[in-house]
Structure formats: structure tokens, C-alpha cells
């Protein structure tokens, strides 16, 4: 595998990152975190650790399917030895208009973001009745909550009286239901109108007709899907598909114990943001002083699961450690990280210690918000684990803003928008970029 010998490139300033955080999390500290994460791993052989079909680790992921993980590990060993990823048949050339044309953006909005469900969060985000999430990024202001029976419900975040928002924080807990701060109309957790202040002034209102406007929601495997607006239905089986539905339970998304969340606003097209997550080619260069110390750059598997995508990357120890062991002694999850890309832009990155969640949402042709969350698989009652979780969160939140997003988004969009750069080139080693580009085109064609 080629390693760069040139001097380290100029590092652009962080995009949307506070000076305090930038100063706290250096490249050397990121490397230290990777070292400490490795030290947490349970290296016992499978027979001494778990049931036959599972591959647990000391940090908490006890459900990863052993057959899948062994298969991915074997593929990654072969790829790492060759120094290349699963590859596309050919190179793809992409015109600048794909990122800058308002008409293209409008077509994507109509075909994808106004029609397809999105992952609002994980079950633990609204673990108890009355817990809620407020999501405004998809156009319709939405509040997602859990009712007293434990069911997930979603509504337009607007009072039926004069349209005032009912909740104003990104997340929180309701005492017993919704109460409008404007005129105190109240609703239960199922959206039913309970009370109207100065009721006599409204004659004999039909309370059943004045409940909150519902938005479809569906919870399964620890993930919560929500429609982008009222009137859109969710067919989990059709959207997720059999192959992905069979894999999701093995990651224990419903057993994570804690989360840290933070939005990242970027000046650039949403597809540029998405593409930063889709290849490991950049590891040896953009992350040469941190992640590349541990990961095999330009080495990853690629598998389509319906219109969704699974990729896996490997740590360098896959060759120095795992490959030297008998297969029946393998603990693959100590050496590989599995990523799911739920179409169009939800990223789920699985490591033994955490689940990293990134959701990419266009706000305009040249504006994007990234919803970043980090969910713990560690027992945070152990003080050292709690400290480690905070460091992992800060590391991921810092690295993408200091390196991935400046290189791939905020410095890439301006020359495309100015007409100075006619387009981009996706190499054979950037196969996932090609796949997702074609899936976006397919969605637009299907909606036409």
C-alpha cells in the first residue's frame, strides 16, 4: 500500500469548530484515543466469550453476527494485502451542475427528501414516555415523542390554534403532554386536544378534529424512522429491505446507553458531505497524522443492501495480529469497523465502544447540516469508560471538521459553484461514490 512521502499538507482551519475544541483535540491526542480504545478490547477467543453466533467485546457489543464478521475480516485481509479496496469497473466523471444547479437540487428535494423516511434518532433518544426530539431540518417542523403505552408518535410541531411551536429545545421531556406557550392549548402524548383556554370564546369546537397533525413514524431494531411531512406513509420492509433488516438487529442499536449530539452547519452541497464518508482512499493523506496511524487506508469492502450500502474498513492489526491466528480464534470486531449508509444520507459507523451517527440533510443547494451523534456501547458507570466516551465523541466531532469537511466540502464547493471547475472524478477505488450517485439518479427517475 502506498504511503505518502511528501511533506504534510497545509491543514485548513476548522469548519464550524470552536477554537477551544480545536485546541483541545490535537492529532496526537486522537492517536492516543485510538491506542486507548484498542486497550479496552476483549481478546479472548470466541469459545471463551459468547454464544456461537455472537462476537462480543469488553466494551459492550455482544450481538455482532460472527459469520458476517468473519467473512468481512477474510475479505479485508485479502484487500489489505493487495493494498486496494473493492473496486468499480471503471472511472466516473461527474459534472459540476450535480452540486450547483438549483434545478438538480429541487429534483432531489422532491424525489428524495420530501418522500422518503429519515432516521430521526435511536430508541434511547426518547427512552421514556414524554421524551421528545425536535427536528426542523427536513422542512416540516416535527416533534417525535413516546406515548404512555411506549409507542413512538410524531407530529407537526405546531399548535392547531395559531401555529405556534409546542417545543423549542432540540430534546427534552414533557411532564404529561404538550402545552402551547402562546395561548395554553394542551394536548396529550397521542396528539389529542385536551383543553382550550377561554373555551367559551370558541363555541363548541370539535376537539377530535383539532388534534395535532400526525406524521408517520416506525420504530424497529432501535432505530426510529419518521416521514418528512404529513401524508407520507412508511413501509419499513420496502424501504429497509430484507437484507439490511436481517443485519440491523446484530448491532444492538436498542441497547446503547448514552449519547452526545451536536449539529454541524456547512457551506456546500449535501452530496459533497456524503462523499466524505464513502471511501478510505483519503485516510493516508487527510488523516496521515491521526487515523492513518491505525487504519489501512484505501482498503474497504463494498456491499449493496437494496438501495443502502455497507462498507467495512480495517485496522492495521488485521494483518499483524488477526491474519496470523486460526479462524476459529478470530475476534473480528477488534480489527474491523462496519459502516451502513442508509439512503440517502444516514451514516451508522459501528465500533466495539460506540456507534457514530451522522445524518446529512440539505438546507439549500449550497448549504448542509450534519446531525452528528455518538452513542456508547460501554458501561459508563465505570469512570474510565465515561471519560473514554467523552474523548471518543470529541475526537470524531473534531476530526471531521478539521479535515474531512474542509477538504471535501467547504473548499470544494466554491470552484464548482463559480464554474471554474467543470466536474469531479470518482476513481475505481471510490466505488461507493459511484453507487450512491446512480442511486440518487434512480430515485429522481422513479419520482418523475
Q: pLDDT digit string (tens) for 180-222?
A: 999 999 999 999 999 999 988 998 889 999 999 999 999 999 9
CB 379 within 8 A of CB 60: yes
**pLDDT, tens digit (0-9, with 9 covering 90-100), for 375-396:** 999 999 999 999 999 999 999 9
Please list, in sequence order, all residues whose beta carbon lies within 8 angstroms of the beta carbon of residue 5, skipping any fewer than 6 positions away.
none
| pLDDT band (50, 70, 90) for residue 361 | very high
C-alpha 206/C-alpha 224 separation (Å) is: 31
Residue 23 corresponds to which cell in the numbers above? 485546541
- Which cell numbers hold the place of 114? 420530501
Count of CB atoms situated within 10 Å of the CB of 295: 21
Instruction: Characterise 164 by phi-psi region: left (phi > 0), alpha (psi -120 to 50), beta (else).
Output: beta
- Do residues 76 and 299 lie in contact, with contact meaning Cβ atoms separated by under 8 Å? yes
Residue 60 has pLDDT above 60, yes or no: no
Contact status, residue 305 vs residue 243, Cβ threshold 8 Å: yes
C-beta atoms surrounding 390 within 10 Å? 15
Peptide bond into 344 cis (omega under 30): yes
**Structural domains for the chain:** 19-99+240-447 (3.90.380.10), 118-233 (2.102.10.10)
Q: Which residue has the higher pLDDT, 290 or 372?
A: 372
| The pairing of beta strand 193-195 with beta strand 423-426 | unpaired
- 422, pLDDT greater than 60: yes
Whole-number pLDDT of residue 243: 94
Given a cut of 90, is residue 35 above it in pLDDT? no
Residue 228: closest CA among 292, 328, 342, 141: 141
**Mean pLDDT for the chain?**
89
Q: Are 213 and 156 in contact (CB under 8 A)?
A: yes
Please, how many CA atoms are within 13 Å of residue 303, restricted to the half-sphere of its CB?
17
pLDDT single digits (tens) 118-165? 999 999 999 999 999 999 999 999 999 999 999 999 999 999 999 999
Rg (CA), the chain: 23
Amino acid at each position: 500500500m502506498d504511503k505518502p512521502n511528501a511533506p504534510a499538507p497545509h491543514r485548513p482551519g476548522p469548519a464550524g469548530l470552536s477554537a477551544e475544541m480545536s485546541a483541545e483535540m490535537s492529532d496526537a491526542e486522537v492517536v492516543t484515543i485510538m491506542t486507548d480504545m484498542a486497550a479496552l478490547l476483549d481478546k479472548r477467543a470466541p469459545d471463551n466469550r459468547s454464544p456461537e453466533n455472537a462476537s462480543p467485546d469488553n466494551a459492550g457489543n455482544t450481538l455482532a453476527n460472527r459469520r458476517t464478521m468473519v467473512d468481512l475480516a477474510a475479505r479485508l485481509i485479502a484487500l489489505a494485502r493487495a493494498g486496494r479496496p473493492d473496486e468499480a469497473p471503471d472511472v466516473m466523471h461527474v459534472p459540476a451542475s450535480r452540486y450547483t444547479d438549483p434545478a438538480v437540487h429541487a429534483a432531489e428535494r422532491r424525489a428524495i427528501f420530501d418522500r422518503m423516511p429519515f432516521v430521526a434518532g435511536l430508541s434511547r433518544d426518547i427512552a421514556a414516555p414524554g421524551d421528545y426530539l425536535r427536528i426542523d431540518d427536513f422542512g416540516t417542523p416535527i416533534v417525535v415523542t413516546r406515548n404512555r403505552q411506549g409507542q413512538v408518535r410524531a407530529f407537526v410541531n405546531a399548535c392547531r390554534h395559531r401555529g405556534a411551536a409546542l417545543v423549542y429545545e432540540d430534546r427534552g421531556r414533557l411532564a404529561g403532554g404538550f402545552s402551547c406557550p402562546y395561548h395554553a392549548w394542551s394536548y396529550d402524548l397521542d396528539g389529542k386536544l385536551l383543553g382550550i383556554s377561554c373555551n367559551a370564546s370558541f363555541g363548541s369546537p370539535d376537539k377530535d378534529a383539532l388534534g395535532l397533525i400526525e406524521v408517520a413514524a416506525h420504530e424497529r431494531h432501535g432505530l426510529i424512522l419518521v416521514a418528512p411531512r404529513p401524508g407520507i406513509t412508511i413501509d419499513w420492509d420496502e424501504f429497509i429491505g430484507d437484507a439490511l433488516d436481517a443485519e440491523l438487529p446484530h448491532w444492538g442499536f436498542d441497547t446503547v446507553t448514552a449519547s452526545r449530539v451536536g449539529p454541524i452547519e456547512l457551506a456546500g452541497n449535501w452530496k459533497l458531505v456524503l462523499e466524505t464518508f464513502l471511501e478510505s482512499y483519503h485516510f493516508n493523506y487527510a488523516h496521515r497524522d491521526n487515523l492513518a496511524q491505525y487504519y489501512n487506508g484505501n482498503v474497504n469492502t463494498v456491499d449493496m443492501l437494496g438501495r443502502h450500502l455497507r462498507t467495512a474498513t480495517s485496522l492495521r492489526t488485521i494483518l499483524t495480529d488477526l491474519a496470523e491466528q486460526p479462524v476459529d480464534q478470530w475476534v473480528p470486531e477488534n480489527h474491523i469497523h462496519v459502516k451502513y449508509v442508509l439512503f440517502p444520507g444516514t451514516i451508522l459507523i459501528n465500533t466495539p465502544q460506540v456507534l457514530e451517527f451522522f445524518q446529512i440533510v440539505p438546507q439549500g443547494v449550497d448549504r448542509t447540516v450534519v446531525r452528528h451523534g455518538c452513542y456508547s456501547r460501554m458501561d459508563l458507570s465505570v469512570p474510565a469508560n465515561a471519560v473514554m466516551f467523552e474523548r471518543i465523541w470529541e475526537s470524531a466531532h473534531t476530526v471531521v471538521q478539521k479535515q474531512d469537511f474542509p477538504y471535501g466540502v467547504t473548499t470544494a464547493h466554491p470552484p464548482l459553484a463559480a464554474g471554474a471547475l467543470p466536474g469531479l472524478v470518482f476513481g475505481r477505488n471510490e466505488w461507493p461514490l459511484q453507487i450512491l450517485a446512480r442511486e440518487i439518479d434512480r430515485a429522481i427517475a422513479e419520482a418523475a
